[in-house]
Amino acid sequence: MQIIPAIDIRDGRCVRLEQGDYGRETVFDDNPAAMARRWQKAGAKRLHVVDLDGAREGCPVNADEIHAILSAVSIPVQVGGGIRDIGVADAYLKAGADRVALGTAAVKDQTTLVNAVSLFRDRIIVGVDARDGMVAIEGWLEQSDIRALDLVRQLSEFGVARVFYTDISRDGLLAGPNFAGIHELLEHAAGLPSPMAVIASGGVSTIEHLQRLALIGVEGAIVGKALYTGALDLAEAIRAVSL
């Protein structure tokens, strides 16, 4: 299982939110590119970078900072936040992103989703962000009437090969992932005509959490606040899940 440090960018800085609440923000660094280099040096094999302002505004806001990250590291980077059309996705991929993440567009504009999958194949990853089992969109500010499991089925039918699942209620609280929800999603995804890889996100704060996720069978775990606060040491965590 891959441990994927998260770099969330707001106003050009590395921040973490609690439960997706823009009013509950902690700033951890003014230089996202330097943070990316730090995680690469500690052993990260992939980074998860999100333009939080872009997610809320519906278009890239912190593209300069993301481009700086792409230039600063040699490991794969998946980029999300405000990617609502093919042009933005293509620009990030041409700039060096390994994958681009769609969220709101996967729910509200499925023509764009289908076109993106057709053009970019497995370089498209979709964020399934859920609150009480229902999908949230628009930077988690808007609740849809779509069940997370139903969205995953739709995504499979459209040819999406990989999703990352976030239980918003756990995100940024260090209280542990929603293991039951992740397990249910994995079983659901495995039973679809086109099985999908699942990356877990939200609530990871200990090595035990990561080991449990590895046993469940997720492809990777996105980790944010625990790394920034020092509750979890990245190098130690990577060694623990590699044993």
The single residue of 51, 53, 129, 167 carrying the catalytic annotation is 129
- CA dist 126 → 12, 27, 111, 189 (Å): 24, 26, 14, 13
Mean per-residue pLDDT, 22-30:
84
The yes-or-no answer on residue 8 being catalytic is yes
Summary mean pLDDT of the chain = 91
What residue ranges do the domains of the chain occupy?
Answer: 2-242
pLDDT band at residue 126 under the 50/70/90 scheme: very high
Prediction pTM value = 0.92
pLDDT band at residue 26 under the 50/70/90 scheme: confident
> What pLDDT is attached to residue 10?
96
Helices (H), the chain: 32-41, 52-57, 63-72, 86-95, 104-108, 110-120, 148-157, 179-190, 207-216, 225-229, 234-242
Of 1.10.1660.10, 3.40.1390.10, 3.20.20.70, 2.60.40.10, which CATH number belongs to 2-242?
Answer: 3.20.20.70
Task: Say if residue 202's pLDDT is above 80.
Answer: yes
> What pLDDT is attached to residue 172?
56
> What pLDDT is attached to residue 203?
87
Task: Say if residue 21's pLDDT is above 70.
Answer: no
